Amino acid sequence: MVRRSRPVRRPSRSVQVLTAGVLAAGAAWLSGCGSTVDGVPVAVERSPVGERIDAQLITLLPEPSQFPARYPAVVLPPEAAAQAVGDLDGVARGATVEPADCAPPEQQYGPDHTAVAVGTSDADRATLTVELVRTRSPLSDLADQLRRCGEIRVTGAGPTTTVTTTVDRAPAVDADDALSLRRVVAPDVGGAGLTQRMHTHLAQIDDVRVLVTYMIFGDGPEDEAALRELFTTAVGKVAAA
């Protein structure tokens, strides 16, 4: 379940619609004095995502000290951030995706568009990554694409791979919307331990999308507790902005 306990910047969609309906009904009663008014209530068109969060994205990342202890972390510069995002999508820059309409949404990089911090556990060959993205697209659009594109083929940038994605419910967090996904990136040719497995929790807060991903190679156990802990931390910091 998704919840918002932080101070709310605007009424929720249900409150807005209810308020509009009450005001419209009141106006009709005053003007018609009990007469029947023809027509159907229509909700006012609204932006698909909330207002802009003015803080720089890099300042909204969890501090390296806030990562779980086993994952010493660093904040990535823009070029390295772009590479990390491609690894998490399973689609490197310049790669070709089949079906073509299953390619990840285009993303801009730079301090006002994307911020990434990565913590690494060398013992497990595992990483925990926090990615913050500024977007005007609702999280539901991404969820629809992911459900439609459960399996894709990626060629042209490194080894040819099959990327399989399944969508699930996210842990309850203080956000406008949230979901989880599991992703497996399997190369056509390769030895044991080259398959990349990821578990990502995503949340949308106004125009900032929060993605926290646990990634491991091979068949090692997943650190679900660390993933959930960092997701809660990352969402909480953005929600407090």
Measure the CA–CA gap between 179 and 173, rounded to whole angstroms.
Answer: 10
pLDDT at 177: 96
Structure tokens, 70: 């086993």
**pLDDT over 70, % of the chain:** 79
Structure tokens, 136: 């005007």
User: Nearest CA to 219 among 193, 189, 191?
Assistant: 193
Measure the CA–CA gap between 112 and 18, rounded to whole angstroms.
Answer: 35
Phi and psi angles of residue 47, each rounded to the nearest 5 degrees, phi first: -60, 145
Measure the CA–CA gap between 3 and 177, rounded to whole angstroms.
Answer: 8
pTM equals: 0.80
pLDDT at 17: 35
Q: What is the pLDDT along the chain (241 residues), one digit of tens a residue?
A: 454 544 444 433 333 333 344 334 333 333 443 444 344 443 333 346 789 999 999 999 999 999 999 999 999 998 899 889 989 999 988 899 999 999 998 888 887 899 999 999 998 889 999 999 999 999 999 999 999 999 999 998 788 999 999 999 999 999 999 999 999 999 998 766 789 999 999 999 999 999 999 999 988 889 999 999 999 999 999 999 9
Order of strands across the sheet with 196-205? 73-75, 114-121, 126-134, 208-217, 196-205, 177-187, 161-168, 151-155, 96-98
Task: Tell me the C-alpha to C-alpha distance, in Å, between residue 21 and each of 10, 16, 58, 110, 225.
Answer: 17, 9, 41, 43, 44
Coil vs helix vs strand at 30: helix
Structure tokens, 236: 């909480």
User: Tell me: the pLDDT tens digits for 2-51?
Assistant: 545 444 444 333 333 333 443 343 333 334 434 443 444 433 333 467 89
CATH architecture of the region 57-239: 3-Layer(aba) Sandwich (3.40)
